[in-house]
């Protein structure tokens, strides 16, 4: 008889290799996820800062986050990491400190 297929040992070796790759990959993916959220927040702050300048040029007043949102200048009031965006009285954009 000439049966073709995988033996139990071959299947166990494949599962072992996949398990080792997952153990290596998962910690790196979670570490990079926090880095991506941090960089995403910086990009969001830069975008909102630009929209503050555009609003100020058009309306000659410094907007609030709510005004930018309701008038369609921005599409979110928070960073990807869920920190609320703040605009001070001089038009500088920042995020609420983490509590």
pLDDT score at 19: 93
Q: What is the mean predicted confidence (pLDDT) over 14-28?
A: 89
Question: Model confidence at 45, in pLDDT bands (50, 70, 90)?
Answer: very high
pTM above 0.75, yes or no: no
The dihedrals phi and psi of 5, each to the nearest 5 degrees, come to 160, 180
Higher pLDDT, 62 or 99: 62
Question: Model confidence at 36, in pLDDT bands (50, 70, 90)?
Answer: confident
- β-strands 85-87, 93-95: how paired? antiparallel
Strand runs (DSSP E) across the chain, as ranges? 85-87, 93-95
């Amino acid at each position: 008889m000439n049966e073709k297929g995988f033996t139990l040992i071959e299947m166990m070796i494949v599962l072992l290799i996949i398990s080792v790759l997952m153990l290596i990959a998962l910690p790196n993916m979670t570490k990079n996820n926090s880095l991506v959220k941090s960089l995403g927040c910086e990009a969001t702050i830069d975008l909102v800062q630009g929209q503050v300048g555009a609003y100020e040029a058009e309306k000659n007043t410094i907007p609030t986050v709510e005004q930018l949102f309701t008038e369609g200048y921005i599409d979110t009031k928070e960073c990807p990491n869920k920190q609320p965006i703040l605009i001070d009285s001089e038009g500088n954009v920042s995020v609420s400190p983490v509590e």
